[in-house]
Amino acid sequence: MHFRTIIEPFRIKAVEPIRRTTRAEREVALRAAGYNLFLLKAEDVLIDLLTDSGTGAMSSEQWAGMMRGDESYAGARSFYRFEQAVSEITGLKHVIPTHQGRAAERILFGSMLKPGDIVPNNTHFDTTRANVEYRQAVALDLPSPECNKPEFPCPFKGNINLEALEQLLKEQGDKVPLVMVTVTNNSGGGQPVSMANLRAASDICHKYGKPLFLDACRFAENSWFIKVREEGYEHKTPLEIAQEMFSYVDGCTMSAKKDGMANIGGFLAVNDDALAQRAKNMLILSEGFPTYGGLAGYDLEAIAVGLKEALDEDYLRYRIRSVSYLGEFLSGAGIPIVQPPGGHAIYIDAKTMLPQIPQQQFPAWALSLVLYLEGGIRSVEIGSVMFGRQPDGSEKPAANELVRLALPRRVYTQSHVDYIAEVLLYVNKLKDRIRGVRLVEAPPVLRHFTARLEPVAGALVVEG
């Protein structure tokens, strides 16, 4: 093809109206929500970039699959189609459906961890960390050193720190029942992990007799980055690359709400027979029988189709391009973002953008509120509200203060992206007048979901 424009590789069959609000209405909505974007009503949001999880548009093939859903309690046809789709990609022996990713995490950690254990990961996502800590184990982040330099571009910034991993296994291996690698590294900026890094991590784990697990939520996006950035993979298909990635691990947890292209669902897949048995026993307690695991038959069908669609080259090219397109706009205007743009989201570096706000006043949280106030855009803070509270109750500022703009899959068009960029450019002009926030009330764990806050200066944006 001689044409440069990368188009959305689909046409739109069903539309859902979105509603404009005035700034004054959004001010009222924010106050009512305790200055917490999670507590807003979605209908008061114009463009919702809170998450790429479960918010994607399904294809006509997925909807057709849903009509074929077999709702038998045990042994449903839909389960076997789901299992086949997962096996083709992962090659893992036991496929255990769960209602979403965190259920797979809870069951895995519930089957493997005891108090005092350590679970290393390139960077734990919030639910992964919480599920490890719930078992009174330690969730240890071992990101590659580049990861903490937001504006430093590097092709595989999601890599796990191999030296630190080996040192940990050498010195405290008896406390490490498993190692995890998250692809792409969500909390670290949606950054990919290279095949070389994964292979080396696998070699280290197996040298010390430790199983390696993938947190595989965005495995297809990671495959695409390997294809376009890692030597030797340019002629491989995303499926072949994904298969190689999974060949290095002993199991995975997966949220099908991301690269499963579904609105709900997930799975745990493992090779170890005894572990699979323990996990299935736990599954029956809370999720359901092992051939449905908390999902309807039609959900299993949607995931079976979605996993394949996520690996389609035209889709991945468009997906990754729409994120980098937004990133180029913002960095072109001098807005500091994590470089290079991630797979599913742009991460704005609020610590650099708003130096007037100390970390104790949550600069990324404040910026996310201002994006809503000024433009009706909902994003999410990945900073000290999310990660600042330590398991012992003390406070420690997060390494980075990021605002994540996550793009749902196949939902927004290029003009939506242009609008998002325009709002950001506008907010960037008033950045010196943005002030911080403080917590008014917060639960002890996963506080970002339900905490209530208030602006320290009485307003988020003060008069200039």
Please give the residue ranges that form the binding site for ligand F0G (CB under 6 A): 51, 53, 100-102, 125, 127-128, 182, 186, 215, 217, 255, 257, 266
Spatial neighbors of 1 by CB under 8 A, at least 6 apart, are none
- Closest of 148, 236, 247 to residue 198, by C-alpha: 247
Comparing CB distances to ligand F0G, the nearer of 186 and 322 is: 186
Which of 211, 207, 200, 209 has the alpha carbon at shortest distance from 249? 211
Residue 23 Cβ vs ligand F0G, minimum distance, rounded to whole Å: 26
Residue whose CB is less far from ligand F0G, 35 or 213: 213
125 or 246: CB nearest ligand F0G: 125
* Rounded-to-integer distance, Cα 402 and Cα 347, Å: 6
Residue number, 51 or 159, with CB nearest to ligand F0G: 51
Task: Return the closest-CA partner of residue 240 out of 95, 89, 83.
Answer: 89
Q: At closest approach, how far in Å is the CB of 248 from ligand F0G?
A: 18
Question: Would you say 361 or 368 has its CB closer to ligand F0G?
Answer: 368
Which residues make Cβ contacts (< 8 Å) with residue 2, sequence separation at least 6? Answer: none
Smallest gap from residue 457 Cβ to ligand F0G (A): 29
Which positions ≥6 away from 355 have C-beta within 8 Å? Answer: none
Q: Is 241 helix (H, G, I), strand (E, B) or coil?
A: helix
Least separation in angstroms between CB 51 and ligand F0G? 3
Q: How far apart are CA 329 and CA 324, in angstroms?
A: 9
The CA distance from 123 to 144, in Å, is 9
Please say which residue, 280 or 448, places its beta carbon nearer to ligand F0G. 448
Q: What is the CA radius of gyration of the chain?
A: 21
Looking at beta carbons, which residue is closest to ligand F0G?
A: 101
Q: Min. distance of Cβ 320 from ligand F0G in angstroms?
A: 17
Provide the minimum distance between the beta carbon of 146 and ligand F0G in the complex, in angstroms, as a whole number.
Answer: 19
Peptide bond into 120 cis (omega under 30): no
Q: How far is the CB of 363 from ligand F0G (least distance, A)?
A: 20
Residue 257 or 280 having the CB closest to ligand F0G: 257
Helices (H), 381-437: 384-387, 414-429
